[in-house]
Amino acid sequence: MSEAPRRAPSYLRPMDAMELKAMIPQFPGYLDEAARRLSDELVRSYAGEALAGLVDRLRPLEAPMEARFDALLMRAGFANQSAFREYGSAVLSPERSVAMLGADTLLVTLAQRAASVDIQSAPGYLDELEAAFDARDSAMEQVAA
């Protein structure tokens, strides 16, 4: 008799849309341009709030570290219009919606870790955040292709 497949632990798998909605209650998903625009704003805001709390907790910072935080706060505060341009009005298949959900959940998962970051782990954490923002931009561009 074979065992039922085990689900990966929550920290090893991306959230599904319902889990993301539980964390960001207004999260509308990706059905149309208005929903995608709001989803983008809410996910970036979630990350930005976590990042702002982290930078406040770690200050004073040396200038290069402060500049990295500032650059990421700008990315959290403003949509990447170049990446969003085609994505906003694209017809999304379920597979392409899943790709965007994966990118969004990566960023939200990283944002949740902000409270545990200290000054020693901050550079690596910022590397991960930069990569997550890049992954979101790439997912938008690929989704629209």
User: What confidence score (pLDDT) does residue 5 get?
Assistant: 42
Q: Each residue of 59-87: pLDDT tens digit?
A: 999 999 999 999 999 999 999 999 998 89
User: What confidence score (pLDDT) does residue 139 get?
Assistant: 92
- pLDDT category at 145 given cuts 50, 70, 90 is low
Would you say residue 118 has pLDDT above 90? yes
| Residue at token pair 């969004």 | 104
Q: Return the HEC string of 41-91.
A: HHHHHHHHHHHHHHHHHHCCCCHHHHHHHHHHHHHHHCCCHHHHHHHHHCC
User: What confidence score (pLDDT) does residue 15 get?
Assistant: 59
The pair of three-digit structure tokens given for residue 87, joined into one six-digit string:
């994505």
The pair of three-digit structure tokens given for residue 96, joined into one six-digit string:
């392409």
Would you say residue 97 has pLDDT above 90? no
User: What confidence score (pLDDT) does residue 82 get?
Assistant: 92
User: What confidence score (pLDDT) does residue 144 get?
Assistant: 60
Query: Using CA atoms, how far apart are residues 134 and 128, in angstroms rounded to an integer?
Result: 10
User: What confidence score (pLDDT) does residue 6 get?
Assistant: 44
Would you say residue 136 has pLDDT above 50? yes
Q: Each residue of 7-45: pLDDT tens digit?
A: 433 433 445 788 888 889 999 988 889 999 999 999 999
Residue type, 120: Q
User: What confidence score (pLDDT) does residue 67 get?
Assistant: 98
